[in-house]
Amino acid sequence: MRESLAVVLAAGEGTRMRSALPKVLHRIGHLPMVGHVLKTLGSAGIDRLAVVVGPNHGAVRAAVGELAPHASIHMQEQRLGTAHAVLAARPELEHATDDVLVVYGDTPFVTPEAIAHLRAGLAEGASVVVAGFRPESPKGYGRLVMEGERLLAIREEKDASEAERQITLCNAGMMAFRGDVALAILDAIGSDNAQKEFYLTDAVEVANDRGLRVDVAEIAADEVFGINDRVQLAGAEQLFQAQRRRAAMVEGATLIAPETVFFAHDTVLGRDVTIEPNVVFGPGVTVADNVVIRAFSHIEGAQVASGATVGPFARLRPGAEIGEGAHIGNFVEIKAATVETGAKVNHLTYIGDARVGAKSNIGAGTVTCNYDGVNKFRTDIGANAFIGSNSSLVAPIAIGDGAYVASGSVLTEDVEADALAFGRARQVAKPGRAAVLREAQKDRRKPT
């Protein structure tokens, strides 16, 4: 097995994003784009990870620390170009390694196969392997200047001649180096170009000058989609969603209108899950087998057990745990609450910071009043309880197993098991008084 090091470049300003957020932290499928890259490098079996971040990019540093705790982080003090950025990881480059990969943090769809493809070139004797691709429009990309099978140079758009700009094979932004020559090549790169930057792409000419073999590994355009602005960010999201929808269907979920369902990077679906149109998944959702997610539901940070139904128009927020066969109906919001096996919360209800015991039925319009403006409190509803419609349960409160709450109740005290609780004024009806009232109103009517 060849040893490997990947250097991820994430120090760019991302000026074209016009954002206070560093570019590589913009999300695709709710995961920062650099997270996609780190995830892929992890599954490609790369031994060591080094991430290069910018001087005022504490947020990137923190995100990388969470996403890839084993990665070393290096600061590029001044942004003097991609080659200069790689050299920020010099301590890692000085360690002997067979393969050194340079991957851009703004190219989130790199696949483990593409990385293997580049490494295969090194294993076959190349000193440098460049990932090439043919974009729909080559504008903005470095062009691969070939002579037959030989890669002579990469020319950045700004430095390219008219003839070079006609080239359709472009630099994808991923490169592999033989570990024992990587540092020498990088150190030899200068900044004599339109942008006065140290271009990583000049590694090709340096290697050629030294008589080293330079290969191109052609990669599918989808895999090396680079993001520089928000239009491309939206394009990336679209691409990501298309892949995820396809994967969900291939793995056994029915999507009635796949183009209207939006997944997060970590959405987990069981088998025979049905997802109706217009459903949005935020991060941290696991859906077990045989669940039906009905139209227009929004789900994040939630677990849904087998056979449950959710929606239409349901909202599951972080900490929602929906038990086996439970029903969550229309206009119901569940937050940090467990709805146990077979329980039903079918209409117009808010359940927050709560437990709803097995087989309990929560009537339409029930609200757990969990917040007093300062603190949050819990509601605990036992099994087989019945909460009448339009009840307010003022937490902290416990409703025992089998208890029955009359509709329209406002409850502020615990209800013991099997008790019947009323928390409302007694009804009063005065015979004939409606007619009397009407007469009185007529007399008071203002002349028009």
Question: Which residue number, 111 or 341, has a Cβ lying nearer to Ca ion?
Answer: 111
Which of 66, 63, 60, 51 lies closest to 14 in space, CA to CA? 60
CB atoms within 10 A of CB 52: 27
Residue 35 engages ligand UD1 in binding (rule: CB under 6 A): no
DSSP 207-275: HHHTT--EEEEE--GGGG----SHHHHHHHHHHHHHHHHHHHHHTT-EESSGGGEE--TT-EE-TT-EE
Rounded to whole angstroms, the Cα distance separating 219 from 111 reads 10
Using the rule CB under 5 A, give the single segment among 45-53, 104-112, 146-154, 155-163 that binds Ca ion: 104-112
Supply angle C-alpha 376, 351, 403, rounded to 5: 105
DSSP 212-223: --EEEEE--GGG
Residue from the set 108, 226, 352, 423 that interacts with Ca ion by CB under 5 A: 226
Question: Which residue number, 13 or 124, has a Cβ lying nearer to ligand UD1?
Answer: 13
Asked whether the beta carbons of 226 and 106 are under 8 A apart, the reply is: yes
Which tokens hold the place of 12?
Answer: 């760019």
Residue from the set 4, 40, 76, 379 that interacts with ligand UD1 by CB under 6 A: 76
Residue 154 engages ligand UD1 in binding (rule: CB under 6 A): yes
Rounded to whole angstroms, the Cα distance separating 278 from 286 reads 18
Q: At closest approach, how far in Å is the CB of 154 from ligand UD1? A: 6
Residue from the set 79, 134, 347, 378 that interacts with ligand UD1 by CB under 6 A: 79
Active site residue 298: no
Question: Which residue number, 141 or 240, has a Cβ lying nearer to ligand UD1?
Answer: 141
Q: At closest approach, how far in Å is the CB of 149 from ligand UD1? A: 20
Residue 134 engages ligand UD1 in binding (rule: CB under 6 A): no
Residue 365 engages Ca ion in binding (rule: CB under 5 A): no
Q: Give residues with Cβ within 8 angstroms of 99, minimum separation 6.
A: 2, 3, 4, 5, 119, 122, 176, 177, 178, 179
Residue from the set 5, 9, 288, 348 that interacts with ligand UD1 by CB under 6 A: 9
Residue from the set 29, 81, 325, 357 that interacts with ligand UD1 by CB under 6 A: 81
The option from Ca ion, ligand UD1, none interacting with 29 (CB < 5 to 8 A, set by class) reads none
By CB under 6 A, the count of residues binding ligand UD1 is: 29
Residue 203 engages ligand UD1 in binding (rule: CB under 6 A): no
Residue 108 engages ligand UD1 in binding (rule: CB under 6 A): no
CB atoms within 10 A of CB 194: 11
Among residues 57, 84, 327, 347, the one annotated as catalytic is 347
Residue 214 engages ligand UD1 in binding (rule: CB under 6 A): no
Which tokens hold the place of 447?
Answer: 């002349």
Residue from the set 32, 226, 311, 329 that interacts with ligand UD1 by CB under 6 A: 226
How do 72-75 and 150-155 pair as beta strands?
A: unpaired
Binding site for ligand UD1 (CB under 6 A): 9-12, 52, 76, 79-82, 84-85, 104-107, 141-142, 154, 156, 170-173, 199-201, 226, 228
Which positions are annotated as active-site residues? 347
